[in-house]
Structure 1
Amino acid sequence: MLPLCANASGPEDAATARALVSSLGRPAPARTPFAEARFMKMLDKPLVVSGELAWLGDDRLERTVEHPTREVSTIANGEVSQQREGRSPRTFSLKRAPQLQLLLDSFVALLGGDASRLEQAFTVQHSADGADHWTLTLTPRDAKLAQTVSRIDIDGSGNEPHCMRMQEADGDVAIDLLGSYATRMPATPTRDALATICRGG
């Protein structure tokens, strides 16, 4: 088994991190609301969308955007199917979408409570601030995927993830507020404001 790192290198800390991942597991289908702000260098303002993420079991993931326009993306059997409002459906290989591959690997492993799967796809670091808040930092093991996404940070408390930050190698970042935190997306989000929310502020 690949090592699961923690904020210290001892076996007790690694065991704590694995126990945390196991506690996040939910039976499929598992659904959670999300609100995402994507900060891109080419845009003055972030793109904000909201909807629902659903793990349907095995390697099947569905991302439904309800606002501002409806779009459904389904990942299954190594393919991505997208249905956008007012457009014809399209299907393409998951290999063409590294961000979706990493979303699948991380989200399925977390909702499945599968620490082993998480370890296979990522180097995992765990830290906690002593006030029930924790952070998992996931670094892709696949060098090609890491050229697109440098890391994913997941914040939460207890057995609930609240925030997922996907840092792309080119400097763009997508920040998702999950579950009950999805309603806390500011009307005009900034990275600093979302960082405060992710820390439980």
Structure 2
Amino acid sequence: MPIPRRIPRQRLLLLLAALATPCIAAPEPPAAAAFDADWILQAVARPAPSRTPFVELRASPMLRQPLRLQGEYRREADGRLVRQVTAPYAETTTLAAGEAVIERAGRAPRRIALRQVPELAAVQAGFGALLAGDRALLLRTYEVRAEGTRERWTLGLTPRDPRLAAALRGIELHGRGSELRCVESTPAKGEPQRTLMAGAAAAASGIADPAGLAALCHGDGAAK
């Protein structure tokens, strides 16, 4: 199966959106807390280091069928955010010091300075706020909405910056309790990209069709 070599700006935007999200389940917030965006932010915020497996199905006109990616997201103690693809090929993307570095065996690393791409810098800043549980800082970049219950919730993020909105329609985080299970990024043009994480990634074993993964992302599939 051919693998795309060039990484368009829009795909990198979606990749960074998933890369910069929290990685593992945090302790359950106090039972007395009301359910709202603040409750979710408290649930998903956590200190480094953290790590979680992921499963992603990526569609492309270049491929006869969607490409299923598997690997691991890590947030290192020094603040670096790492996305390591292990199948069907090996690739590591590291977000640190204001740049994204994409590495594959046998190729020179690709370095992309975020200051040269304002919308990518906005994604990094917004998710830095998410990792810290800082709602006020997150609101500078996104309009935030919370839906559902503690047992099954969605946190929606809509870009405020017109440049970011021109490439990214929005992001939805889907979770159960204190576990973030899926990041669903919707570009301004094209289909949503879903990254299943933690328990949802484990439940995705053997599932390769977009409908099945979408059901898991939205909490309609079996939990593990």
**TM-score, scaled relative to structure 2:** 0.72
What secondary structure, in the 3-state scheme, does the structure 2 residue paired with 1:116 have?
Answer: helix
1:119 Cα deviation after fit: 1.6
Check whether the contact 1:40–1:172 (CA below 8 A) recurs between aligned residues: no
1:103 Cα deviation after fit: 5.5
Q: Which residue matches 2:138?
A: 118
For the aligned residues, what is the CA RMSD? 2.7
Question: 1:64-79, aligned counterparts within 5 Å?
Answer: 64-79=84-99
Check whether the contact 2:144–2:157 (CA below 8 A) recurs between aligned residues: yes
Q: Percent identity?
A: 37
Counterparts of 1:78 and 1:133 in 2: how far apart (Å)?
34
Q: Which residue matches 1:179?
A: 198
Matched, 1:140 2:152: no
Counterparts of 2:134 and 2:83 in 1: how far apart (Å)?
20
1:153 Cα deviation after fit: 0.9
Structure 1: which 5+ runs fail to align?
Answer: 1-12
What secondary structure, in the 3-state scheme, does the structure 2 residue paired with 1:139 have?
Answer: strand
Question: 1:42-57, aligned counterparts within 5 Å?
Answer: 43-56=63-76
Q: Check 1:102–1:48 CA distance in 2 against 1; reply closer, same or farther (3 A cut).
A: farther
Query: After TM superposition, which residue ranges in structure 1, 4 or more long, deviate above 4 angstroms?
Result: 41-44, 95-103
Q: Which residue matches 1:19?
A: 39
Structure 2: which 5+ runs fail to align?
Answer: 1-32
1:124 Cα deviation after fit: 0.8
Check whether the contact 2:79–2:96 (CA below 8 A) recurs between aligned residues: yes
Whichever residue aligns with residue 191 of structure 2, its letter is: D
Check whether the contact 1:98–1:148 (CA below 8 A) recurs between aligned residues: no
Counterparts of 2:105 and 2:88 in 1: how far apart (Å)?
11
**Number of residue pairs aligned between Structure 1 and Structure 2:** 187
Counterparts of 1:69 and 1:62 in 2: how far apart (Å)?
16
Check whether the contact 2:119–2:163 (CA below 8 A) recurs between aligned residues: no
Q: Which residue matches 1:159?
A: 178
